[in-house]
Amino acid sequence: MSADLLISVIAPAFNATAFYDAWLGTIQAQAYPNLEVVLVDDGSTDGLSERAQEGPAFLRYIRQDNRGPAAARNAGIRASTGELIAFLDLDDLWAPGHLGRMSAALEAQPNLQIAQGLIRNFLYDHGRACYCSRPYRFINLGSAVFRRCVFDQCGVFEENMRFAEDFDFIIRCWEQGMRKQDIEELSLLYHRHENNMTHGKNVVEMGVVAIYKRRIDRLRAGKIKPAMPGPLEVPYWDYVGGSVWPFDEGIREPV
């Protein structure tokens, strides 16, 4: 594992104190030696401030009025200093070694901008954490590590979007020819529960239609070319991946 590249972990949070201990524990368990964590409190009212201010030295706490996860992530990016940027929502977990594997892939290939591992959904069944899906690859930011230059070239998250801002961002990465390596190992444990922002939402409510309209608008404005950039040549769905459906596939494999 290299200690040369500083990784900034960006974490947006709104009333997520119940997940704080497990979230901090999964970051510490990475044992990555060159790390800063920027926790952006998006107007929480559940005592997150008190917990975060007692955190380890690598944890930086920022508070803002409630503006949504896109604005919180953008604030974290602006406050961070790392050459590499990772994201982890407070209710999710990382598989052991995730940061080391992603940073090693990026260091080994200077022309690579993104490294991404696999995702598995999990839930708590009678108090026990269980995987509830098979592994898959999709746009969930917590499964990837990005070079800072990706945000310089592709822009940050669209703050007017309360949903699907991550999907919109990955589409822009594809449009701009950001090279991504898929790592065939588990990276993200995505926690499915009733308080997920996407719980019970249909594709329109989650903003999927809006992100494709934004792409059409960029095409019509001549901001992007209809054809893929030559160096990338990766079909759209290969780049983006695909989620599992249903989110709970009935698997109950202990985490």
pLDDT in tens, 50-107: 999 889 999 999 999 999 999 999 999 999 999 999 999 999 999 999 999 999 999 9
Q: Which residues pair with 216 in a beta bridge?
A: none
For the chain, give the mean pLDDT: 90
The predicted structure's pLDDT at residue 1: 42
Q: Is 203 within a domain? A: yes
Total domains present in the chain: 1
Give the closest residue to 180 by CA, choosing from 92, 252, 241: 241
* Of 2 and 90, the one with more pLDDT: 90
Pairing state of beta strands 180-191 and 93-94?
A: antiparallel
- Those residues with Cβ within 8 angstroms of residue 49's Cβ, 6 or more apart along the chain or in another chain: 41, 61, 63
Give the closest residue to 16 by CA, choosing from 165, 162, 191: 191
How far the first Cα of the chain sits from its last, in Å, is 24
The predicted structure's pLDDT at residue 162: 80
Domain CATH number, residue 170: 3.90.550.10
Cα 20 to Cα 2: distance, rounded to the nearest angstrom: 27
Q: Is 175 within a domain? A: yes
According to DSSP, residue 18 is labeled G
* Of 226 and 239, the one with more pLDDT: 239
Of 135-144, 167-176, 207-216, which gets the smallest average pLDDT? 207-216
Q: Is 1 within a domain? A: no
> Phi and psi (nearest 5°) for 123?
-145, 175
The predicted structure's pLDDT at residue 200: 52
Q: Is 81 within a domain? A: yes
Structural domain that includes position 186 = 7-254
Cα 206 to Cα 221: distance, rounded to the nearest angstrom: 25
pLDDT in tens, 172-225: 999 999 999 999 999 999 999 776 555 454 554 556 778 878 878 888 888 777
Handedness of CA 177, 178, 181, 185 (dihedral sign): negative
> Tokens 């590249």 belong to which residue?
5
Q: Is 2 within a domain? A: no
The predicted structure's pLDDT at residue 216: 82
Of 17-21, 111-115, 120-124, 190-194, which gets the smallest average pLDDT? 190-194
